[in-house]
Amino acid sequence: MPVVSHPNLPSLERLESSELVIKEDDSKSESFSRHLHIGFLNLMPDAAFQATERQFVSMLASDDELLVHLYPTSVAADERGNEFKNYIDEHYNHIKDIQKRKYDGFIISGANPSQQDMTKETFWNPLIEVFEWAEENTNSVLCSCLATHAIMKAKYGIERQMRNEKAWGIFKHDVGKASHHLIQGLVDGFDGPHSHYYDFPINEIESTDLEILATNDFAGMYLASSKDGSLVLFQGHPEYGGNSLLKEYQREINNFVSGSRADYPPLPKNYFSSSKIKKIEELKQSLLSEPKHITLDESLISDIDLNWQSAGKIIYCNWLNSLV
C-alpha cells in the first residue's frame, strides 16, 4: 500500500504513522513484488501546495499489494513566494530531469486560475508541454480539475463555460459506462466533491473519443476517460481531504471580508451537517455586522461523512491496476 516519494517530501512525514508513506531507503520496499512509477506535476498555489501532495498520496496508497514510487515536479514557479520556491528547489525534481525517463502513469494537479482565459496564465504553456510529453512517455495521464479544463481546450477544442452557480460541495453521481475498468466496483449514488465555476456541455464531450464515467445533474461531469484509460479527466475531487471544503469556505469568507468578493459565500452543498449549520449562520450574521478575518474551527466538520474518499480510492485502485 505505501507510497515512496523520490526525493522524500517533508510534508508527507505526518502520513508515515498511518503507513501510507515510507522513506526511499526503507527496507520495507523490498517486500513488494509489484512497483509502479508515477510522475506528479503539482500546480497548486502555495497555500494548498503541500496539502495537495498529501491528498494525492492518500489516493495512490489505495492498493495493498502495490508500492507506488512518486516523482514530484512543478513548473512556472516564478510567481511563488520565496518559501515555496526554495521548497521546490530542494525537494522537487526539475522538469527536465523528469523527462529523462518513462513512467507508468502521470498525474497533473489542478491550479487556481487568476483570470478567465486560461491561455494567459503563466502555467498554460508549461502545462500543455508537459501533457504532450506525458502522452508519449507514460501509459496513462490523469488530470485534475483545472488541468482537465486545459486539456479539454488544448486537445479537443472544447471551451469551458461559466456556470450560473458554482458547483461546490458533495454530490451524488450516476455511473456511466459500467464496463469501463476505472469504475468497476462503483454504483449509482456514490459521493464526490466538486469545486468549479466552469463546466463543459455534455454533448460536446460525447462527440469526442472520451467516455463520461460519472456525472451529477447539477454539478456536471465528475470523471471521463478515453476508452483505453490512457487519458483520465477528473472535474471532481476524489482526493479532497475532510477539511478541503472547509478551507475553501474560510478563504471565500475572508475574500468577502477583504472586499475581493462582493457577496457573502453560500455554504458548500451537502457538506456541513444540519447540527452545525445553525452555528455557521450565526457566524455569518456576526461577520456581516462586524467584518473581520476568521479561522474556521475544524469542530465544524467533526461529524461529516467522508465516504467520498472510499469511492475515490476505488477509482484510483482501478487506475493503478490498469498500469501494472
CATH assignment at residue 41: 3.40.50.880
Looking at the structure, do residues 155 and 174 belong to the same domain, yes or no? Answer: yes
Looking at the structure, do residues 91 and 63 belong to the same domain, yes or no? Answer: yes
pLDDT exceeds cutoff 90 at 248: yes
pLDDT exceeds cutoff 70 at 84: yes
Split at pLDDT 50, 70, 90, the class of 296 is very high
User: Mind spelling out the 3-state secondary structure of the chain?
Assistant: CCEEECCCCHHHHHHHHHCCECCCCCHHHHHCCEEEEEEEECCCCHHHHHHHHHHHHHHHCCCCCEEEEEEEECCCCCCCCHHHHHHHHHHCECHHHHCCCCEEEEEECCCCCCCCCHHHCCCHHHHHHHHHHHHHHEEEEEEECHHHHHHHHHHHCCCCEEEEEEEEEEEEEEECCCCCHHHCCCCCCEEEEEEEEEECCHHHHHCCCEEEEEEECCCEEEEEEECCCCEEEECCCCCCCCCHHHHHHHHHHHHHHHCCCCCCCCCCECCCCHHHHHHHHHHHHHHHHCCCCCCCCHHHHCCCCCHHHHHHHHHHHHHHHHHC
As annotated, the active-site residues are 145, 237, 239
Average pLDDT of span 92-111: 96
Tell me the pLDDT tens digit for each residue of 21-60: 888 777 677 778 899 999 999 999 999 999 999 999 999 9
Looking at the structure, do residues 29 and 155 belong to the same domain, yes or no? Answer: yes
Q: Minimum mean pLDDT among 22-31, 39-48, 112-121, 178-187: which range? A: 22-31
Split at pLDDT 50, 70, 90, the class of 298 is very high
Looking at the structure, do residues 165 and 274 belong to the same domain, yes or no? Answer: no
pLDDT at 114: 78
Looking at the structure, do residues 296 and 204 belong to the same domain, yes or no? Answer: no
Looking at the structure, do residues 173 and 258 belong to the same domain, yes or no? Answer: no
Looking at the structure, do residues 62 and 195 belong to the same domain, yes or no? Answer: yes
Q: What is the mean pLDDT of the chain?
A: 94
- Which residue segment(s) compose the domain that 289 sits in? 244-301
pLDDT exceeds cutoff 80 at 193: yes
Higher local confidence (pLDDT), 24 or 130: 130
Looking at the structure, do residues 206 and 313 belong to the same domain, yes or no? Answer: yes
Looking at the structure, do residues 223 and 264 belong to the same domain, yes or no? Answer: no
pLDDT exceeds cutoff 70 at 101: yes
Looking at the structure, do residues 20 and 57 belong to the same domain, yes or no? Answer: yes
pLDDT exceeds cutoff 70 at 1: no
Looking at the structure, do residues 295 and 317 belong to the same domain, yes or no? Answer: no
Count the domains in the chain: 2
Q: Minimum mean pLDDT among 29-33, 151-155, 271-275: which range? A: 29-33
Average pLDDT of span 108-132: 92
Looking at the structure, do residues 126 and 267 belong to the same domain, yes or no? Answer: no
Average pLDDT of span 85-106: 96
